[in-house]
Structure 1
Amino acid sequence: MKIKATLEKIPGGMMVVPLLLAAILNTLVPDLLRIGNFTQALFVDGASTLIALFLLCTGAQINLKTVGVSLGKGATLLTTKWIVGAAFGLLAYFFAGENGLWLGLAPIAIIAAMTNSNGGLYIAVVGQYGNKTDRAAYSLLALNDGPFFTMVALSIFGAMGFVDGLFSITSFIAVLLPIIVGMVLGNLDEEMRSFLDQGSSMLIPFFAFALGMGIDFSKIIEGGLSGILLGLATTFVTGTAGYFVFKAFKWNPIAGAAEGSTAGNAVATPAAIAAANAGFAGVVELATVQVAASTVTTAILLPIYVGFLVKRLEKKGVKLPDDYAEDYKRNATA
């Protein structure tokens, strides 16, 4: 039975198939794998640990000469994602009705969903279609994890003053450390680099499944059409923006598109904003379910969209990730 070969025929199959299978199980029979011990540890609660191990393996592949490229990619994605999300949020404030909503969406839900990205999905996409520097860029992307950039946008809009304490430097270091450990090991010993390289691709379906066990399709129903609309905008607008920005820099555009998602922890952002400014308390519940719906929608839609973009590049003769193995190589067909 050719399971691996079948999955590889599906765009992003190593990621999307386990993720969707787990999401279906979590929606229909959520307690099936929540039976404790090793089963729950691996298939339900293992996403963070598996992603951390993936980052360590990835870090081992980074040559110190490429660190600057990785930081440049991370900063570019971070900036692009924030500008697009903040711009849409500002647009929502301009055109909001008397109820404070635009197209049924709360502006803070738009900013929270569109400026915050799912690191697990990004890692899964670039793990399959990206190179070493694409994967290492995640260390900087951890900065958009949480309400910090939503706060910055709202501060700029004059909707609220800057509030300290919502961004933890410790959390950022905690994301970065596995990459640093791997990078040290890989640069000290070439054999360790080769040994850890095997984990980069092997771990993808396992943490994708664990990510799927955090997705509940019913959240799409709760968030309604407006939440789905937010998810569509997040994938197609921020993902496409990242794609073309990376293409302009002659970097792998799929890595740019991989930021077109909403992180699960963005669901807590509206509540965090309201805790800092009570003026947002009236829209917290609505914004929360809309962000939740966007999280589920993008988790399903982004791998499909990435698959479409990959096919588009392949028709132009681009081989992923081979044609972007070294970032100084310029591919005119990309």
Structure 2
Amino acid sequence: MKIKATLERIPGGMMVVPLLLAAILNTVAPDLLRIGNFTQALFVDGAGTLIALFLLCTGAQINLKTVGVSLGKGATLLTVKWVVGAAFGLLAYFLAGENGLWLGLAPIAIIAAMTNSNGGLYIAIVGQYGNKTDRAAYSLLALNDGPFFTMVALSIFGAMGFVDGLFSLTSFIAVLLPIAVGMVLGNLDEDMRSFLDQGSSMLIPFFAFALGMGIDFGKIIEGGLSGVLLGVATTLITGTAGYYAFKAFKWNPIAGAAEGSTAGNAVATPAAIAAANASFASVADLATVQVAASTVTTAVLLPIFVGFLVKRLERKGVQLPEDYQEINEKVTA
């Protein structure tokens, strides 16, 4: 059987197929692989560990000369994602009805979903279509995890006072450290760089499957059409914004589009906002299920959207990531 060749013929297949298979399995038989020991450790609970190892392998491929490019990409994605999400959240506040909703959506759900991104999906996509600087950009993207940037947006809008303690420096360092360790090893020893390079692509289908085991298609039903609408808007709007921002800098635009998702931890953001300001309590529960639906919707839709963009670039003669690797090398030379 030509399993690998078949997966490679599917846009993003090394990530999409394992993720969707796991999501289906988790929806119809969630306890099938939750049997403890090695099986559960690898196929259910292993996403965090496998992604950390992927980041270490990626870090080893970073030459110190390219660090500035990686930080520039991370800062660009972070800014675009936040500005777009905050702008649409503000628009929702202006257009909201007496019930505090716009098109059935809670404004805090829009901000939470659009300003937060699924790091695992980003890594899986750039692992296949990006280069080492695209992957290393994740070290800065970890800043948009949790309610911190949602709170900043609401504070700017005057909706609430800024609340301390929502950004954890320790958590940020914990994301950065595997990349830093890999970067040190790779820059000290070329043989270690070559050795760890083998792990980058091999890990993708395994952590993609583990990510899928955290997806429940039932959340789409629970969140209703409004939650699906939020997920579609998050992918198409923030993904497209990232795509064109990267294209403007002559970077790989697929890496920019890879931020068009909602992270699972964003589901807890509306509750955190409501705890900080009781005026949001009336829509917190609705916002929670809408963000949950957006998380599942973007996890399914973003790989499909990226596949469409990749095919579009290929029709124009662009081969990923090689063509953009050359550009990055010229930038950092």
Aligned to 2:4: 4
Unaligned 5+ segments in structure 1 are none
The one-character-per-residue Cα deviations of 1:248-292 (angstroms, maximum 9, x if unpaired) are 000000000000000000000001111111111111110000000
Q: Give yes or no for contact 1:47–1:210 (8 Å, CA) kept in 2.
A: yes
Aligned-residue CA RMSD in angstroms?
Answer: 1.0
Which residue does 1:76 correspond to in 2?
76
Question: 1:143-197: per-residue Cα shift (whole Å, max 9, x none)?
Answer: 0000000000000000001110011010000000000000000000000000000
**Aligned partner letter, 1:70:** S
Matches within 5 A, 1:113-262: 113-262=113-262
Which string of whole-angstrom CA distances, capped at 9 and with x for unpartnered residues, describes residues 43-78 of structure 1?
A: 000000000000000000000000000000000000
What is aligned with 2:99?
Answer: 99
Q: Equivalents in 2 of 1:204, 1:91: separation in Å?
A: 37
Look up the match of 1:271: 271
What TM-score results when the alignment is normalised by the length of structure 1? 0.98
Q: CA deviation at 1:327?
A: 3.6
**Corresponding letter in the other structure for 2:309:** L
Separation in 1, partners of 2:276, 2:196: 43
1:121–1:299 CA contact under 8 A, matched in 2 = yes
CA contact (8 A) 1:250 1:330 kept: no
The Cα of 1:330 is off from its aligned counterpart by: 7.7
Distance 1:156 1:326 in 2: 40
Q: Which residue identity lines up with residue 254 of structure 1 in the other structure?
A: I
List alignment gaps of at least 5 residues for structure 2: none
Does the CA contact (< 8 Å) of 1:56 and 1:181 recur in 2?
yes
In structure 2, the residue matched to 1:320 is 320
Same amino acid, percent of matched pairs: 90
Is contact 1:243–1:256 with CA below 8 Å preserved after alignment? yes
Distance 1:46 1:286 in 2: 30
Q: How many residues align?
A: 331
Once the two structures are superposed, residues 85-133 of structure 1 have per-residue CA deviations (whole angstroms, 9 ceiling, x without a partner) of 0000000000000000000000000000000000000000000000000
8 Å CA contact retained: 1:85, 1:115: yes
Structure 2 CA distance for aligned equivalents of residues 209 and 253 of structure 1: 25
Runs of 4+ residues deviating >2 angstroms: 326-331
Distance 2:154 2:326 in 1: 39
